[in-house]
Amino acid sequence: MEPRVTLITLGVADLARAVAFYRDVVGWEPASVVEDDVAFFDLDGFILALWRERSLAADVGAPRAERGSFEAVALAYNARSHDEVDTIFASLGERGARIVKPPADTDWGGYSGYFVDPDGHHWEVAWNPFWPIREDGRIDYPKD
């Protein structure tokens, strides 16, 4: 894994309320809001995602979606290719990382899995064919 983090996802109970906070209080304009489920802020190729807590809990494989049952945060490393995700998980597995979700095709057309660090912090390693990786390792977020 190259030394970079490309995305942080914050679980939110109410997406509209969370988007309003980041837009009106913090002052950042969302790059896109997908239905009532997820919002992305493009911070010059570093992505801040707000995702419904239940969806995030389900995605990371948390047993229950209740508040307090899991840390509603995930860090992500966006790989440059489908194959790179496999290479990374193979290496993580060899080195003893706890892989909580082996990489698999996702319903949004990507390929993604999760591992956790020794303290239970979740890391996603994903390939998103719609988000090319720039030369500098950040995301070339699609413009509308």
Interacting residues with a second copy (CB under 8 A): 1, 3-5, 8, 10-14, 17-18, 21-22, 24-29, 41-44, 46, 48, 53, 68, 71-73, 75, 91-92, 95-97, 117-119, 121, 136-137
Look at residues 121, 116, 131 and name the one whose alpha carbon lies nearest to residue 42. Answer: 131
Q: Report the SS3 class of residue 67.
A: coil
Q: Please say which residue, 35 or 118, places its beta carbon nearer to a second copy.
A: 118
Q: Please say which residue, 58 or 129, places its beta carbon nearer to a second copy.
A: 58
Q: Please say which residue, 129 or 134, places its beta carbon nearer to a second copy.
A: 134
In whole angstroms, how close is the CB of 81 to a second copy at the nearest point? 18
In whole angstroms, how close is the CB of 116 to a second copy at the nearest point? 10
Q: Please say which residue, 11 or 113, places its beta carbon nearer to a second copy.
A: 11
- The Cα 52–Cα 75 span in angstroms is 15
Distant-in-sequence, close-in-space partners of 115: CB < 8 Å, separation ≥ 6: 89, 92, 97, 98, 99, 100, 122, 123, 125
In whole angstroms, how close is the CB of 5 to a second copy at the nearest point? 6
In whole angstroms, how close is the CB of 111 to a second copy at the nearest point? 19
What is the biggest distance separating any 2 CA atoms in the chain, rounded to whole angstroms?
46
Burial class of residue 75 (count of CB atoms within 10 Å of its CB; 0-12, 13-18, 19+): middle
